[in-house]
Amino acid sequence: MIGGGTWIEVAASLLLVVGLILGAGRLARLRGGGRAAANAHLAPVASLTIDARRRLHLVECDGRRVLLLTGGGDAMLLLDPPA
């Protein structure tokens, strides 16, 4: 049987661990999360499902919009207008 003082220590330790996890998550979001910061110049604009395997994506990359067809084991650049 655990005494009253031990329960308080367990609860305090649990709160400390949860606080550390939440703080680390917030810090990661503030710093950009690494992956998002590396791909800041690449942004999905729209996506359309063609069938069960293929999707059409409009993606903006460095201010240019390109149209990509993905699925079926490959990806194809459909539209890349001149800059």
* 0.95 surpassed by pTM: no
Residue 39 has φ and ψ, to the nearest 5°, of: -110, 30
* Residue 33 pLDDT: 57
Those residues whose C-beta lies under 8 Å from the C-beta of residue 64, and which sit 6 or more positions away, are 80, 81, 83
Does residue 45 have a pLDDT over 70? Answer: yes
